[in-house]
Amino acid sequence: MVVFKASKFILSGSSPGTTKSIAHRLLLSHGYIHQVGNGLYSFLPLGQRVIDKLIRLVDIELESIGAMKVSMPILGARPLWEKAARWDSMGTELFKIQDRHGVEMCLQPTAEEMCTQLVAQLPPQKKRMFPLLIYQTTDKFRDEMNPRFGLLRSRQFLMKDLYSFDLDKDGATRTYNRVCKIYDRILRDRLGLEVYKVTAQPGIHGGSLSHEYHLPNPLEEDGIHFCSKCGSGSKKEDGPCKCECGESSSVRTFSTVEVAHTFQLGTKYSEALGALTKEKQPLEMCCFGIGISRLLPAIVSLLSTSEKAVRLPPLISPFSAAVIVTKNLMDNVMTELTLSSLDRRLSGGILLDDRVEDNIGKRIKSLREIGIPRIVVLGKTTEKTINKVPKVEYFPPQEDSQQDESREWTLNEVMQSIG
């Protein structure tokens, strides 16, 4: 078991300046991220832990449907990008670069071309390999005219992009629905988010059918119409409200941010790059993206009820729990036992708050502010009971806690409540 110590781990955050985004202010001031330049951010230790947990969560869910993780280079050659005519159509958002030999390349914002080329260049795969699902989680680049709201619209961002290859259209539709279900599972079931799936125009990526996943957000960056009756909706920018049941009185229109998108691409890329079946037919493709780094501010905006404290789903909080100890109990076996019991039960890391020069109230406040869901205090109560049945003070995740509940628990009771 690795013990992370609060005295060492929690970097002071930086001043949030004047941004309109509450989530961005929270992430800057609580040491989740740091601004490096225009639209460029570092993840600090707290933010990095959340990003790593999001990546792992997505890996597990995608592996469960047989998707295979790869990583493709960031640099994409101009001739590759010209094959589906996107070198020019991506416009000024494409970061362009020349190597020492004058060869033109771009910092890829997405990888339809490169992934399709990969499938075209490998020896023909056997029929049993299809549908072939290939994905990566890598840095992507977009030279935004006006980067804003921190990670929400940055110039370097982390995206999970999955590409599927099927032998025919029906197969592609089945794959599309299957991956959409997994997206629901990740965002709704695992992360517990209020998420809205709406139809969207495929746009520059091409194809026939596209959906986006949106979270409510006050920044007016995007917006959707959504019908509470039939559960369908569309993007505000695509025109008047459209819902499947036609009951326009059940349609609400509100401000959101996009966190994921899905496309049935058809054969645009497979034809252009020669990714073919054994019978020389172009493979039917879909693509699926999740904005891993933009999920962080989108979730913080959705869940943080106060401007002062970061809130995240316990599954992806930087630590699953923190243990606050007094100086007296620092080297006590009870501290060791509490840490190891929590570590066995919870897989997201345990933080030992050893900042004994600060009082316990201040430390609870500090841990709440950085978004630790469960706090166990080994303080006066524990010191008094240590030789009988030791008690701790336990602060469960907010959604479980009851105001009038006793704070004094045995370690066993804490473990049972975690389940």
Give 102's contacts (C-beta < 8 A, 6+ positions apart): none
Q: At what angle do helices 292-303 and 45-63 cross, to 10 degrees?
A: 110
Q: CB 88 → its own copies: shortest distance, Å?
A: 15
| Cα gap 239→250, rounded to integer Å | 17
Nearer to its own copies, 100 or 388 (CB): 100
Structural contact between residues 233 and 213, judged by C-beta atoms closer than 8 angstroms: no
Residue of 84, 132, 92, 131 whose CA lies nearest to 111: 84
Residues in the chain: 419
Ramachandran region, residue 150 (left: φ > 0; alpha: ψ -120 to 50; beta: rest): left
Interface residue with its own copies among 17, 36, 168, 281 (CB under 8 A) is: 36
Nearer to its own copies, 95 or 254 (CB): 95
Structural contact between residues 163 and 116, judged by C-beta atoms closer than 8 angstroms: yes
- For 155, list phi and psi in degrees, rounded to 5: -90, -25
Q: CB 271 → its own copies: shortest distance, Å?
A: 20
Q: Which residue has the tokens 């079931």?
A: 189
User: Which residues between 57 and 116 bind its own copies (CB under 8 A)?
Assistant: 60, 63-64, 66, 68-75, 77, 92, 95-97, 99-100, 103, 107, 114
Q: CB 253 → its own copies: shortest distance, Å?
A: 33
By CB under 8 A, residue 348 contacts its own copies? no
Q: CB 186 → its own copies: shortest distance, Å?
A: 15
Give 92's contacts (C-beta < 8 A, 6+ positions apart): 143, 145
Interface residue with its own copies among 5, 174, 344, 365 (CB under 8 A) is: 5
Nearer to its own copies, 156 or 341 (CB): 156
By CB under 8 A, residue 282 contacts its own copies? no
By CB under 8 A, residue 330 contacts its own copies? no
Nearer to its own copies, 150 or 207 (CB): 150
Structural contact between residues 248 and 207, judged by C-beta atoms closer than 8 angstroms: no
Interface residue list for its own copies (CB under 8 A): 2, 4-5, 7-9, 11-14, 31, 34, 36-38, 40-45, 48-49, 51-52, 60, 63-64, 66, 68-75, 77, 92, 95-97, 99-100, 103, 107, 114, 117-118, 121-125, 128-129, 138-139, 141, 143, 145, 155-156
